[in-house]
Amino acid sequence: MPSEPNLPPVSGAQPVRLWGGRFSDQTNALMERFNVSLPFDQALWAADIRGSLAYAHALARAGLISLPERDQLLAGLEAVADEWARGAFVTQPGDEDIHTAVERRLGELIGPTAGKLHTGRSRNDQVATDVRLWLRVQIDQLDAALRDLQEAAVTLADAHLDVLMPGTTHMQPAQPIRFSHWALSFFWMWQRDRARLAEVRRRVDVCPLGSGALAGTPFQIDRAALAADLGFAAVSQNSLDAVSDRDFVVEFLAWAALLGVHLSRLAEDLILWSNPQFGFVRVADAYSTGSSLMPQKRNPDALELVRGKSGRLLGNLLSLLTTLKGLPSTYNKDLQEDKEPLFDTAATLALALPVTAGVLRTLGVNAARMAAALSSDMLATDLADYLVRQGTPFRQAHHLVGQAVRRAEALGVTLSALPLAELQAITPAFGADVAAVWDFEHSVEQRAAPGGTARAAVAAQLRQAREMLHER
């Protein structure tokens, strides 16, 4: 039978429950294992203790505990936090969740006064607060990692400003572009990701503490002061909504899923280009692995994992949406299932972002192979534009150049090698100066409008990107 490493042992002795007063029979042993969340929600220990420290002050302000009792609670909570920080906290079989574990240990350290900390507070508003406090920290860390990734893309683009490469649509050669233009395309995706993350953070930054189980607190808790103590920008406006709201978790998971899509698209390009048949880029040894059988292999595993884990991020979002869609109002134990996808998503991105940045910072770029992959048929649009400048309507020009492409294929030559006489047989609008079209640098330099691939336009992107990165 497979082991179950994350489940606590079942003890014959039944611990005292926070909720056990109205029960006469013992909890089924399998139910104990099924119900427990401490193996994963212990990640909230710092947030849980921070919320409790603030709540102790709130109880004292409301006159519900004396100042000596407050100080006793504060000292005890700091001692519990120190144990967690040192890895010295010892969980017990009866520790159902992080809240139970902390409260149990607090009681062991300071005695009955620990029981006053839960006055007017439910695990429902407690966990809602903990998750918001925890997620706020994760968001700030992920934003910093995403900014670092943007810097890596800017550095890569700046270092290879003059490298030309084939641009593709439908994975078919389309038009020449600058490699730097490609690199910066992801900068703008990630800039939108950062803007969306800031919006998510704004909606995370709401304090539900003081909502009780669902109906609000019967005590004169100053919720505004409590929110201020915890650094929240606002107080929740409805207690029913406050304890059940997981919109902010869904938003974060949706944000992460879209970021994962963007990371996956970058990875896909680089995986293809690292194939020797392309040879456009070389993923550094630090971010590659080999084969256990084939000695010659260099596998871009870092990028393949980034691409693969994007599916994981999508799955985490769908998992929570599926859980939430069938819930009746206010708190239900189903909401316990929000944490594992949330924690997994944050942990996945905490690795994927710096790994991707590392790949970009160490990426080898083979300008010669990119240049060799440019072909004159990629200048067919330029040839049509030549006719447009001679006064030919574009739709007619497009048709005429299509005939030229077909004629070149029939003769077994490249489009640029098609004799002038052949071009003029299609339309006399072609003159001897058409030879100037067959210049890749000239092609990209014509695209100088803002957002284009001309050198000046890409340089302008770089300047704007740097300004954005240095904004405070």
**Tokens 């978790």, residue located:** 249
Packed helices 123-159 and 455-469: angle between N→C axes, nearest 10 degrees: 150
Residue 214 burial by CB count (10 A; 0-12/13-18/19+): exposed, middle or buried?
middle
Q: For residue 234, list its beta bridge partners.
A: 206
Q: How far apart are CA 330 and CA 68, in angstroms?
A: 36
Q: What gap in Å lies between CA 454 and CA 369, rounded to an integer?
A: 20
| 288 in catalytic set | no
Strands 364-365 and 172-178: unpaired
**Catalytic one of 11, 291, 329, 442:** 291
Q: Coil, strand, or helix at residue 174?
A: strand
Identify any residues that bridge with 281 across adjacent strands, giving them in sequence order.
365
> Backbone dihedral region of 39: left (phi > 0), alpha (psi from -120 to 50 degrees) or beta?
alpha
Strand-pair category, 234-235 with 281-282: unpaired
- Among residues 137, 126, 136, the alpha carbon closest in space to that of 208 is found at 126
Give yes or no: 292 in active site: no
Q: Active site residue: 3, 24, 160, 170, which one?
A: 170
Residue type, 177: I
Residues serving a catalytic function are 170, 291
